[in-house]
Structure 1
Amino acid sequence: MLRIHDILRVKQPDVVMTSPEITVTEAAQIMSRAVIGSIVVRDGDTPVGIFTERDLLQRVVAVGRDPHTTRLGDVMSSPVKTCRLDEPVDQCALRLKKGHFRHLAVVQDGRLVGLISLRDVMAAQLKEDDMAFGEIMAAELSEHQRQAPPR
């Protein structure tokens, strides 16, 4: 069974984090430089929210807020939704779907150790399905070759 630690093994482990006091413009610049779609907002070492491209669109631009003066803490999604390293990927996929959100902070012993997205979960599930399909096809081919009459 595929688990969250399997996703983090192949994904960039660093999570970009920032203060709730920075402006939306500053956060967007950080996200752009890092080529990421979300940033974890923290108070000290504690994650208190997440700010995503979707938050920028829906909570800032669409409602006419000024990104140069709006603080991240005012428009972030909070609280941060989490999952555990040992949690099955399919359970996390279900939580993402039911909750209508796209990111989960990965925690271990109360510490933030990674961030996964709906895209990460879907890619991992597709890869696992492809591998299972390949194994089935190989077994079928092997069985077919054993049953074929000699030439």
Structure 2
Amino acid sequence: MTTVAEILRTKADGQVHAVEPSDTVLTALRRMADKGIGALLVMEGDQIAGIFTERDYARKMVLLGRSSGDTPVSEVMTRAVRFVRPTQSAEQCMALMTENRLRHLPVVEAGRVVGLVSIGDLVKSVISEQQFIIEQMELYITGVR
């Protein structure tokens, strides 16, 4: 069973990208586009204030006709942020994401953000683990060692 810590070690860009609550939505969108990501943590110092996602932008900005250049992230971010610990399994994360309709989970250890996992990260991990099991079973069945 793969843990969140193992998934974080395999990520090409393990950096957690963030904005401040007072930053504009346009600033957040530019950062997301520059980094090729779909979510940013909203941080006040070292504390999570919220998360800003593509879904927040679509539902709380575009559909309401708000201006990205004038709206602070704090007005449209998701404030209730679910998080996981590095010791939790990929399966536990996927269950939490499915139950709460989430695509991103911050990883917190000892009160500090140490990473962010996406549904894509988790699916990639599960597929890799399943592929390994299949290969091991094939070797066992064929007797090749």
Whether these two folds match at TM > 0.5 is yes
Q: Residues of 2 paired with 1:137 and 1:78: CA distance? A: 47
Match of 1:93 in 2: 94
Q: Residues of 2 paired with 1:124 and 1:134: CA distance? A: 15
Q: CA deviation at 1:79?
A: 2.1
Match of 1:9 in 2: 9
Q: Residues of 1 paired with 2:129 and 2:24: CA distance? A: 40
Q: Residues of 1 paired with 2:63 and 2:142: CA distance? A: 55
Q: Residues of 2 paired with 1:89 and 1:35: CA distance? A: 23
Q: Residues of 1 paired with 2:133 and 2:25: CA distance? A: 43
Match of 2:126 in 1: 125
Q: Residues of 2 paired with 1:32 and 1:90: CA distance? A: 29
Q: Residues of 2 paired with 1:26 and 1:9: CA distance? A: 28
Q: CA deviation at 1:48?
A: 1.1
Q: Residues of 1 paired with 2:71 and 2:8: CA distance? A: 32
Larger radius of gyration: 1
Number of aligned positions between the proteins? 143
Q: Residues of 1 paired with 2:59 and 2:130: CA distance? A: 34
CA deviations on 1:71-105 (whole Å, 9 max, x unpaired) are 10010111221000011110111000000011100
Instruction: Give the RMSD, CA atoms, in angstroms.
Output: 1.1
- Displaced runs of 4+ in structure 1, greater than 3 A? none
What SS does the corresponding residue of 1:84 show, helix, strand or coil?
Answer: coil
Map 1:1-151 onto structure 2 (within 5 A): 1-11=1-11, 12-142=13-143
For 1:73, the aligned partner's letter is S
Q: CA deviation at 1:36?
A: 1.5
Q: Residues of 1 paired with 2:114 and 2:42: CA distance? A: 14
For 1:30, the aligned partner's letter is R
Q: Residues of 2 paired with 1:47 and 1:19: CA distance? A: 10
Query: Higher mean Cα deviation, 121-130 or 27-36?
Result: 27-36
